Structure 1
Amino acid sequence: MGDNTGHTNGKVLVTGGSGFIASHVIDVLLNDGFEVVTTARSDEKGRRIVESVQSAQQERLSYVVVDNIASDGAIDAILEAEPPFDYVVHTASPYHLNVQDPVKDFLDPAIKGTTGLLRSVKAHGPSVKRVVITSSSAAMINPMNHAKVYNESCWAPWTWEDALDSKKTYVASKVLSEKAAWAFMDAEKPNFDLAVINCTFTYGPVQRNLPGLEAMNTSNQRIRDMAQGKMKEGLSPTAPVFTFVDVRDVALAHLRAMTVPEAGGNRFYIVGGHFSNKRIADVIRKSFPDLAARLPLGDTQDDFPADVYGFDASKSKKVLGLEYIGFEKSVKDTVQSMLDLNLGL
């Protein structure tokens, strides 16, 4: 842990600090005694990030406004600041469902944003020991022909041609940007190593600085929608993803992937268990009886498939020492965090 003499465990650049996963990554880094600099798209967003953490930790958190993290040299000047950086955690990635131009909206920012960041670190961050990139299980999973058991050796089959189909743009961007990162490491042999976090559907407490429930991360939206009564008449289908993880485990995975020596050069499948929408509704009903009237009836059919694909998270347990938070606690804590914000749930 850091002490009161101004000593820290090191200095970390976190891209995309306003994001759901990033907010929890910043929390665990500060709790572990690191100094954190995060990128934000505006002063207002930057201030919101800093104000959201405990006041005692605010002196170890600062922000830099970067309008477009994927633009050439976006972080060059940041990396040259003193004292030098020890680590970079890249969480910023485009995710929105309104794809007008797959290349401009998604593929360029995802692929060039990732390789451009690595290039900047190589040229302007000579002290950086390791880069951790937030990828996704979307880079691993093939919904058209599931592996019996998914692990880190699995890659989704999407190509550049697939990516131009707007229905596949997001998942393809995850494969192509992660592959580009590993190809960069192979070709450029920089003075740092790389670890990649491939997390699945991520639930868990919403960030404290959430301006409104509509600004919530995509995975948690299904829990929000149920709690708001939007699925009272019937649950939407769970497919295509039947695996979840709690954001606190994802954040811890980033910290450990950054600090555990043998994590370098590895990707990690971060997954806590299976779920279905029916199971979410059942947990909410049991944990929050006041919300039961907003949920579909308890005898609603569960669409969890009997032949659901398996997963192997043993590498994250062994190398990163993760012990995953259970499904019931994750859903319960997510709903409670929404209620605590008094945003009109």
Structure 2
Amino acid sequence: MAQKVLLTGGSGFLATHVLKELLQHGHEVVTTVRSDDKGRFLLNMFEGQPLTYTIVKDISAEGAFDEAVKSDPPFDAVIHTASPYHFDVKDNKRDMLDPAVNGTTGILKAITKGAKSVKHVVITSSFAAIVNPSTPPKVYNEETWSDMTWEKALAATEGGIVYRASKAFAEKAAWDFVETHKPTFALTVLNPPLIYGPVIHQIASLAGLNTSNKRILNMMHGNPVSPGTPIFVDVRDLALAHVRSIEVPEAANQRFFFTAGIGTDKQMGDVIRKNFPDIAKNLRDDLSDTIPPYKFDNSKSIKILGVKYRSLEATIVDTVKSLQQLGA
């Protein structure tokens, strides 16, 4: 059944794929963007589709979503993907922690106050809210939570650590909000690891790539590859999961650890060597092949959301082709 959906951060790497899936599933969409330029790009991309946009310049500002959640006819569902994902952090609290937490609680407050028609809210969290690098469990699943503390996050000097903290605190704030305020909507949270896949959102240059795909670009060019978790998911599978989350009743009030499986840097490099001989000469010999000291359980996402995960080869091949089209 078609729904009217508010999608936040619609011009982002993941969100543009979510937008595409929503429209393909027959839903009507209003998306938030930071500027008219980004909104017009999406309207042109999905010309003739039931899509409009509204501008939210700063998701962490008090009341940022108060107007965005108002609609006639009213919204049935909200998918919240907007959150900072970058490691250019000068002030941990100001640049990463506050925007993530306030952006998440802010939209839940706005829905509770001004969009009582909303029956389902989906939030993009991250494996970062699950992972415990120092003492990993034997198997990661939806029951696992990051052991990050606010004190550790404020003191951290690495952007990656602050990012992990921001996702954990934002997700905890969302579940706490639901527990405390007992809103009329159900909450679903998706927790993906590194997200690879084709780029369809607007970027001015390859320098503006999402952080995960930048790792593949660096690999293609023989540059050092930043450390990353050796599990992955394809952006198209994750986008479908967001849409299924508002369509499948059993997804209500569930947390989904959403990963396709293992993808070490060396394994990704081997895929590139096999499928792109012209790039093979660029690949470094020191790509990490460290298998994680843990297993993962993604059975819940398969059972409830019905997603069939793409293979590492399919994901990396399509990512490289996409980057080549952008001039890589």
By the TM > 0.5 criterion, same fold? yes
Alignment of 1:277-316 (within 5 A): 277-296=265-284, 300=285, 303-305=288-290, 308-316=293-301
Task: Answer yes or no: is 1:260 the counterpart of 2:251.
Answer: no
Shift of 1:110: 1.0
Number of paired residues? 325
Aligned counterpart in structure 2 of residue 151 of structure 1, from 141, 154, 165: 141
1:34 to 22, 27, 32: 27
Paired residue for 1:332?
317
Q: What residue ranges of structure 2 are gaps of 5+ in the alignment?
A: none
The counterpart of 2:57, out of the listed 67, 70, 84, is 67
Post-superposition offset of 1:33: 0.3
Tell whether 2:132 aligns with 1:142.
yes
Deviations 1:217-249 (A, max 9, x none): 101111111223325xxxx46x45110000011
Q: How does 1:49-128 map to 2 (within 5 A)?
A: 49-53=42-46, 55-57=47-49, 60-128=50-118
State the shift of 1:208 in Å.
4.8
- CA distance in 2 between counterparts of 1:279 and 1:183 reads 39
Aligned residue number for residue 215 of structure 2: 222
Q: Partner of 2:259 in structure 1?
A: 271
Task: Give 1:322 deviation, angstroms.
Answer: 1.0
Structure 1 residue 307 displacement after superposition: 5.7
Q: Give 2:327's aligned amino acid.
A: G
Distance 1:245 1:154 in 2: 18
Q: Quick one: which amino acid aligns to residue 192 of structure 2?
A: C
Query: Which of the residues 234, 256, 270 maps onto 1:246?
Result: 234
Maintained 8 Å contact 1:283/1:331: yes
> Is the contact between residue 273 and residue 279 of structure 2 (CA under 8 Å) also seen in structure 1?
yes
Aligned-pair Cα RMSD in Å: 1.5
Counterpart for residue 189 of structure 1: 182
1:186, 1:74 → 2: CA distance? 23
* Cα distance in structure 2, aligned partners of 1:56 and 1:285: 40
Contact 1:29 1:255 (8 Å CA) reproduced? yes
Q: Secondary structure at the match of 1:64?
A: strand
Aligned to 1:344: 327
Q: CA deviation at 1:66?
A: 1.0
Shift of 1:25: 0.4
Equivalent residue for 1:16? Answer: 9
Percent of counterpart pairs with the same letter? 49
Q: Label 1:306 to 1:245 Cα distance change in 2 as closer, same or farther (>3 A).
A: closer
Q: Structure 1's 146 and 116: CA in aligned 2 closer, same or farther, altered over 3 A?
A: same
Conserved? CA contact 2:32–2:56, under 8 Å: yes
In structure 2, relative to structure 1, the CA distance for the partners of 1:303 and 1:339 (3 Å cut) is closer
**Residues 59, 102 of structure 2: 8 Å contact kept:** no
Deviation of 1:303 (Å): 3.3
Aligned to 1:317: 302
State how 1:164-183 maps to structure 2 within 5 Å: 164-166=154-156, 167=158, 168-183=161-176
Give the letter for the 2:270 counterpart: D
Contact in 2 for aligned 1:52/1:208 (Cα 8 Å): no
Amino acid at match of 2:319: T
The question of whether the paired residues in 2 share the 8 Å contact of 1:204 and 1:247 is answered with: yes
- Measure, in 2, the Cα distance between the counterparts of 1:208 and 1:105: 23
Specify the code of the residue in structure 2 equivalent to 1:16: G
Q: Which amino acid aligns with 1:275?
A: G
Letter in structure 1 aligned against 2:256: F
For the Cα contact (< 8 Å) 2:194–2:228, is it kept in 1? no
Q: Cα distance, 1:71 vs. partner?
A: 1.3
Structure 2 match to 1:4: none
Cα–Cα, structure 1 residues 229 and 264, in superposed 2: closer, same or farther, change >3 Å?
Answer: same
Secondary structure of the 1:38 match is strand
Question: Is the contact between residue 52 and residue 209 of structure 1 (CA under 8 Å) also seen in structure 2?
Answer: no
Q: Distance in 1 between matches of 2:292 and 2:185?
A: 41
Compute the TM-score of the two structures, normalised by the length of structure 1. 0.90
SS in 1 for 2:82: coil
Distance 2:58 2:7 in 1: 14
Counterpart of 1:39, as a letter, is T
- Give the secondary structure class of the aligned counterpart of 2:281: helix
Please tell me whether the aligned partners of residues 143 and 240 of structure 1 are also in contact (alpha carbons under 8 angstroms): no
Deviations 1:238-285 (A, max 9, x none): x45110000011101101112110111111001001011111111111
Deviation at 1:301, TM superposition (A): 5.4
